[in-house]
Amino acid sequence: MKLLDPILEFHQEIQAIRRDIHAHPELCFEEFRTAELVAKKLEEWGIPIIQGLAGTGVVGVIKRGNSPKALGLRADMDALPMQEINQFSHTSQSAGKMHACGHDGHTAMLLGAARYLSQAKDFDGTVYLIFQPAEEGGGGARRMIEEGLFQQCPMDAVFGMHNWPGLAVGEFGVKTGGMMASSNEFEVTVRGKGAHAAQPQKGIDPVMIAVQIAQSWQTIISRNVNPLEPAVLSLTQIHSGSATNVIPDDAKLIGTVRTFSTEVLDLIESRMEKIARSTASAFDAEIEFEFKRNYPPLINHENETQFAIEVMRDLVGKARVDAEVEATMGAEDFAYMLQAKPGCYVFLGNGDGQHRSFGHGLGPCNLHNPSYDFNDDLLPIGASYWVRLAQAYLPCN
Ligand SMILES: [Zn+2]
Ligand SMILES: [Zn+2]
């Protein structure tokens, strides 16, 4: 591995920051202490900052030379509402809050890169260091964009990174195209007409209609979606009725849809609505159709992904970069940034959990597990990757 010497030299300092953030986790849009710590460090290293985007967002701006080229490097800062069971010295000091997704490490890795780049002169252009709030369900990335991130910080491309348990330390995983799924929820109400169960001819039975819709929906994945495209439609709840001798007024169908492409998602949503409305209409019932798109699919752009792969290969060696990593059904709000700008998101191996300090919980070191801890060995690897990426993207002529 070709890690950068200065980054190795201040490893202890960055590790102390990572453990401090781990001990003081903060939830979506409440990252006040974390954002203040980030801002303070950036200012200490002479980096101008922009504050207030999405509330607690912080952007560091490092400009060198005259090139108009710019890139963004993004880390997320928020923790999860869950109880940590680790007992080591940097365990969470806030009951019911925990850095169980490693965003403490993501923030620290970007700070490590910031510390290096604040001294570096060997690039020409602007690096935006984006510290984002509320990745865990809050859509902090979307809010930063809505509040003018890319107007205030015009950039040609944006890059993101997530630690990945199970992948060995020093290994990267990435792929072009869909790498993480979109997450979406639906709630469809069939409005019929209640009646005595012994006099069905006087009502419009929403239960029978809901069952027909549920069955017809299952043809969408099998008959409409391209078999080579992954997609899931799971109807997880059906609610209706309260008595054996009453035909109810309405029935609800609730569930989730996951896809890796917006086109497939558009297709599924429109087929679901058409089937629901036309089935209901055939039986003189009405439909209330709610389809909520949470995070979009995370789609890596081809050119930027190839670019990032070259940087990773140069850093850790070709054998340690899986350029066709298996996609995951998990979702990630960096997807919004990749909808607005070209870029690439990568997984960085967090190892198998052996790194955890004495006193860790007995559970696996998996994301969103109460025994999880970010692996500090990643700090110089992730920070070196960020620096190499910036140097390669903004070369001096
Ligand atoms: Zn997470
Ligand atoms: Zn995460």
Chunked mean pLDDT (size 10), the chain, 397 residues: 93 98 98 98 98 98 97 98 97 98 98 97 97 95 98 98 97 96 96 98 98 98 96 95 97 95 94 98 98 94 98 97 93 96 98 95 95 98 98 94
Beta bridge partners of 177: 300
Span from the CA of 369 to the centroid of ligand 1 (angstroms): 10
Ligand nearest to the CA of 160: 2
Residue 262: predicted pLDDT: 86
Give me the phi and psi of 178, to 5 degrees please: -70, 115
Cα–Cα separations (whole angstroms), residue 241 to 205, 207, 234, 236: 10, 8, 22, 17
Residue 322: predicted pLDDT: 98
Residue 242 CB-density burial (10 A; 0-12 exposed, 13-18 middle, 19+ buried): exposed
Span from the CA of 368 to the centroid of ligand 1 (angstroms): 6
Span from the CA of 162 to the centroid of ligand 2 (angstroms): 6
Span from the CA of 34 to the centroid of ligand 2 (angstroms): 16
The contacts of residue 382 (CB under 8 Å, 6+ apart) are 105, 106, 109, 110, 112, 113, 161, 163, 348
In whole angstroms, what is the distance from residue 136 CA to residue 104 CA? 13
Span from the CA of 379 to the centroid of ligand 2 (angstroms): 16
Span from the CA of 180 to the centroid of ligand 1 (angstroms): 12
Cα–Cα separations (whole angstroms), residue 39 to 151, 377, 395: 21, 24, 27
Residue 261: predicted pLDDT: 85
Instruction: Read off the tokens for 306.
Output: 């190839």
Span from the CA of 277 to the centroid of ligand 2 (angstroms): 38
Residue 105: predicted pLDDT: 98
Residue 330: predicted pLDDT: 85
Residue 259: predicted pLDDT: 94
Which H or E element spans position 205?
none
Span from the CA of 386 to the centroid of ligand 2 (angstroms): 18
Q: What 8-state DSSP symbol labels residue 220? A: I
Span from the CA of 225 to the centroid of ligand 2 (angstroms): 29
Q: What 8-state DSSP symbol labels residue 193? A: B
The residues placing their C-beta within 5 Å of ligand 1, an ion, are 101
Span from the CA of 65 to the centroid of ligand 2 (angstroms): 34
